[in-house]
Structure 1
Amino acid sequence: MEAKFQIFLTLLVVLAGTAWLARRIDVAPAILLLLAGIVLALVPGVPPIELPPELVLLVVLPPLIYSASVAMSWREFKFNLEPIALLAIGCVIFTACAVATATHLLLGLPWSIGFLLGAIVAPPDVVAPLAIARKLGLPRRILVVLEGEGLANDATTLILYRFAVVAITTGAFSLPVASATFAAILAGEVAFGIAIGWLSLRLRHWARDPQIEITLSLITPYAAYWIPEHLGGSGVIATVTCGLYISWNGPLLISSATRLQGIFFWDLVIYLVEGLLFLLTGFQMRVLLEKSKEFPLGDILFATGLVAVIVILARFAWVFPGTYLQRLWRPRLRAEPLPDWRAMFVVAFTGVRGAVSLAAALALPLTLPSGVDFPYRDLIQMVSFGVILITLVGLGLSLPWVVRLLGITKDGHAERRREREAEIAARRQALDAALASLDAITDDRELSDEVVKLLRARHETRANQLPQPPDADGNDVTATGAALVRELITEERKFIHAQLRDGNITDESRRRIERDLDLEEASLANREYKKGA
């Protein structure tokens, strides 16, 4: 146990160091973490660390999906539901079929094995591409489509994966039965996800305690995921639906104290889970290298390269024709302007595969019911890992260059500016509404002049703290003012520390003052406008 804990602490050190390096050289942390895991796995004396597939599918995946869906806007998800569905369902099925065809014709794999491999490598990851795309200042709709696809496509691939495994182990497959089962799973999980979201919010509202509410929020994704998964579904759609329901209905039922503490808690949890996941994915290199000795190296490289090229090209082959051809049978779309080809190119290019694909490959059974070894199991695992490595490193490092070449970040910056102006206007209107309410309360109730003066002072303070848009010369007035306020806060901290050291105040008083300063600094960060954000 002590040795395992030491390994865990070592992984945390590597995670922190790699994340720091990624920030310094401006590279997505997922890329460096995967490479760091590969390097550590090959160092002599480092014990092998296997990534249990059930750890990813049952323990890691639910909070990742839930956290991303809670952070997503239900309104934007609903508005972009059609392109999200085309990618999360249509593109995954198309890619799986393309891989099956190519591997059958060029590698001689049975159709069932090729389709299984295709189902495993078909879905892009939800974590890595978004971490890269958000740093590039892309237009919001691209981010929403990519995030929505990443949330939903795991459900499609896990359902296809189970169909393929059953077909291989039993030797029987019925397309009508599989289609009906797929539709039933989607409908059932949507209803179940809404029910879990409703129950979770009511329990948290009833508890009225931040620690209990955060604990319930941690239980929620597992309740939404495990039950459908145990009944033969994927669990992903239920978790996504639950998260979107809480995202839309939670603001009026979750207390401010819970929100403040919950944001920090979930940010830390997701940071650690994502980082360790990519690090442990890289560690699987040693296990796969040992298995690769049973196959000619040339065959492995050819199969990996072929499948990687197919999944990349299949995404382009689906995105562009799918976007334009649907206008032929959708008259409503004909009246709308043609989609920007640059945006579609970025969506098609962002096809990074991740740990879910590897977990699905590692979860393959060792033997068939007859007792013979599961066919091509080791080859499927090696090819899956190779596709993850090629797409994550190759596409991930190339995406910033592609985005700059297309010049699409200019649209994103202009969109952020318009959003900032709308946000400031909404803040002002909210304060005006509060002031009108204060006038009505003053007229209806017998309030002392001191109370009214205090409330109006609070209103004036909030109004003076409103952020400002960049001025005509492009200077960020709010950021400049915030930087100066931070300097003043720093001087306050120094003075309070000196007062504590001299014995003029107690530690308890110092903590209360520091909390007020921390909240003010956090409020500054929330209001501050950063160019390119």
Structure 2
Amino acid sequence: MHTLLPFFLAMIAAIVLLNMLATKLKIAYPIVLVVAGLLVSFIPGLPPVKIDPNLIFFIFLPPLLFEASWTISFKEMKKWYRIITSFAFLVVFFTALSVAVVSNYFIPGFTIVLGFLLGGIVSPPDAVSTGAITKFVKIPKSTSTILEGESLLNDASSLIILRFALVTIGTGQFIWAEAATSFIWMVLGGVGIGLLLGWIFVQVQKRLPTDARSDIAISFIQPYIMYWLAEQVHSSGVLAVVAGGLYLSSKRLVFLNSSSRIRAYSVWESFVFILNGIVFLIIGLELPEIVAGVRAKGIPLGTAIGYGVIVTVVLIAARMISSYAALITTLIFRRNALPHAANRKRRFLMPLILGWTGMRGVVSLAAALSIPVTLDDGSAFPHRELILLITFVAILLTLLIQGLTLPYIIKRSRLFDDIFNEEAEEITRLKMKQGLKKHVYTFLKDKYDNEFNANAIMEKFLKHWEERSEATDDNWMNEKTKLIFIELLESQRAYLTELNKDPKIDEEIIRQQLYQLDLEEERLKIV
């Protein structure tokens, strides 16, 4: 313990410092962390890093998925659900199939089943990498929603492929009827368990006298319970966490107070940042152990890296083909579902961006490490070390090549300058605030007209409620006024919730304003 603690403290300090460096260089921090871990791994005398795959699957994956499901807009996901589900399931399967065929042809001794195993491992793009990279460029909300929504679901589909491939390798047979039944149960069971547990958590927290500290503590155990219970009944823990997280996110105004929402946002943001940082550092630090395993099997390192390059090319090509296939299919069958482009030629460049956002990361590493060392009969798992190295090469190359060039491609192509005919964010925000002001005035005038006539301060409050903090009378916020103000905040939340039903309104703007209302309520509590 005394040797591990300084190591973890040093890792957290390094993550913070490297993130500062990445921000200064305007490079996504996952890239800098992986490269840093890779460089550190070459230092002579360092002990090899060995990671239990269950540590990543159970300790890291549930909270990362849970936080992502809270931040994404479910309204936007519903708008683009066709392309999200196609990328999350069909594209992942097509990518796994492509990897299986190519690896079976180029890698000696690689069967189709082993190829599917490898394809399931490397097929899901990493959400953290994509989000960290795209923050340096401006992309439309629809595009970011597609990428975020895909990343929430593709982990589940890839792990389902991985599970079926492991069973087939272990038993030597693949029964379609059992696989289909198992797949349906994994999807429906995972979603159902997540929604059920989410509903239970909402009901419990509504009825218990919780405060911000207890609400945040409960939020930490929620993803783990969802994931663990779903896995215990052999359904998808990933889908359980995603479904439960989306449900809880949609009910945040029902069972969490303003203090819990504000504090949980800051706590979870820092917690997830540290988790992501640790995993990406581990990806780099794992290299010596992986290389040693390949050499122990007598496989030339250059040959193994070459296989990794081939698989990486297949991953990029499969995603590109899928992106343009999705565009062509939409043009044929649902042309009106495409966003309007001022320049129609640029519409055909959009799949290029979607296809180039296939950086691999956390899930691929965990899936590769989860391959057992031996089969049930005690024999060594075939090509395990080679699969690990190919996975590492795919992660490294996609992060470096696609990750470093994606912002440049977006900026140089000016693809998103006028491709979407969406309402400007500032105009939307201005309209929302004007609507809020009108709603506030109407609410106060209709309900508390007598109060205003009897109190000069309240009349001033009605006219200048936005500038209440500048009032010089310390007694202006008495208990009666405070109750009115809290009721006013709740009325504004109701107004914003109703406004969010408008499909033209970006939910992110609504959430920002709701956060401002939470801050107002917290400031009111200390008056």
User: Same fold per TM (> 0.5)?
Assistant: yes
Are the equivalent residues in 2 in contact too, given 1:89–1:153 (CA < 8 A)? Answer: yes
| 1:65-113 superposed Cα distances (whole Å, 9 cap, x missing partner) | 1111111111101111110011000010000000000011122311111
* Alpha-carbon distance in structure 1 between the residues aligned to 2:349 and 2:331: 18
Match for residue 385 of structure 1?
392
Match for residue 56 of structure 2?
56
* Alpha-carbon distance in structure 1 between the residues aligned to 2:452 and 2:136: 53
Once the two structures are superposed, the pairs formed by residues 174-213 of structure 1 within 5 Å of their partners are 174-207=175-208, 208-213=210-215
Match for residue 143 of structure 1?
144
RMSD: 2.6
Match for residue 242 of structure 2?
240
| 1:150-172 superposed Cα distances (whole Å, 9 cap, x missing partner) | 11000001111000000000011
| 1:13-36 superposed Cα distances (whole Å, 9 cap, x missing partner) | 211111111011110000000011
Once the two structures are superposed, the pairs formed by residues 426-445 of structure 1 within 5 Å of their partners are 426-443=432-449
Q: Could you tell me which amino acid in structure 2 is paired with residue 152 of structure 1? A: L
Residue 362 to residue 335, structure 1, CA distance change in 2 (3 Å): closer
Structure 1 position 246, deviation (Å): 1.8
Residue 283 to residue 447, structure 1, CA distance change in 2 (3 Å): farther
Unaligned runs of 5+ in 2: 471-515, 521-527
* Alpha-carbon distance in structure 2 between the residues aligned to 1:74 and 1:334: 19
Once the two structures are superposed, the pairs formed by residues 153-164 of structure 1 within 5 Å of their partners are 153-164=154-165
Are the equivalent residues in 2 in contact too, given 1:431–1:459 (CA < 8 A)? Answer: no
* Alpha-carbon distance in structure 1 between the residues aligned to 2:321 and 2:82: 18
Structure 1 position 204, deviation (Å): 2.6
* Alpha-carbon distance in structure 1 between the residues aligned to 2:138 and 2:431: 23
* Alpha-carbon distance in structure 1 between the residues aligned to 2:256 and 2:236: 28
* Alpha-carbon distance in structure 2 between the residues aligned to 1:429 and 1:350: 38
Aligned residues: 469
Unaligned runs of 5+ in 1: 465-521, 527-533
Are the equivalent residues in 1 in contact too, given 2:453–2:459 (CA < 8 A)? Answer: no
Are the equivalent residues in 2 in contact too, given 1:125–1:352 (CA < 8 A)? Answer: yes
Whether 1:362 aligns to 2:362 is no
Structure 1 position 458, deviation (Å): 5.6
| 1:502-525 superposed Cα distances (whole Å, 9 cap, x missing partner) | xxxxxxxxxxxxxxxxxxxx99x9
Structure 1 position 342, deviation (Å): 2.2
TM-score by length of 2: 0.84
* Alpha-carbon distance in structure 2 between the residues aligned to 1:204 and 1:312: 45
Structure 1 position 412, deviation (Å): 8.3
Structure 1 position 451, deviation (Å): 5.6
Residue 420 to residue 203, structure 1, CA distance change in 2 (3 Å): farther
Are the equivalent residues in 2 in contact too, given 1:368–1:374 (CA < 8 A)? Answer: yes
Aligned to 2:126, the other structure's residue is in SS state: coil
Are the equivalent residues in 2 in contact too, given 1:213–1:258 (CA < 8 A)? Answer: yes
Aligned to 1:306, the other structure's residue is in SS state: helix
Structure 1 position 292, deviation (Å): 2.4
Structure 1 position 333, deviation (Å): 5.2
* Alpha-carbon distance in structure 2 between the residues aligned to 1:453 and 1:321: 62
TM-score by length of 1: 0.83
Q: Could you tell me which amino acid in structure 2 is paired with residue 172 of structure 1? A: Q
Whether 1:290 aligns to 2:292 is yes
Whether 1:231 aligns to 2:237 is no
Q: Percent identity between the aligned chains? A: 30
Are the equivalent residues in 1 in contact too, given 2:452–2:459 (CA < 8 A)? Answer: no
Are the equivalent residues in 2 in contact too, given 1:300–1:383 (CA < 8 A)? Answer: yes
| 1:444-482 superposed Cα distances (whole Å, 9 cap, x missing partner) | 669740562463266141799xxxxxxxxxxxxxxxxxx
Are the equivalent residues in 2 in contact too, given 1:142–1:343 (CA < 8 A)? Answer: no
* Alpha-carbon distance in structure 2 between the residues aligned to 1:134 and 1:149: 17
Q: Could you tell me which amino acid in structure 2 is paired with residue 290 of structure 1? A: A
* Alpha-carbon distance in structure 1 between the residues aligned to 2:318 and 2:334: 23
Match for residue 479 of structure 1?
none
Residue 335 to residue 430, structure 1, CA distance change in 2 (3 Å): closer
Residue 59 to residue 380, structure 1, CA distance change in 2 (3 Å): same
* Alpha-carbon distance in structure 1 between the residues aligned to 2:395 and 2:355: 16
Are the equivalent residues in 1 in contact too, given 2:206–2:254 (CA < 8 A)? Answer: no
Once the two structures are superposed, the pairs formed by residues 88-487 of structure 1 within 5 Å of their partners are 88-108=88-108, 109-207=110-208, 208-293=210-295, 294-329=298-333, 340-411=347-418, 418-443=424-449, 448-450=454-456, 452-453=458-459, 455-456=461-462, 459-461=465-467
Moved more, 428-437 or 374-383: 428-437
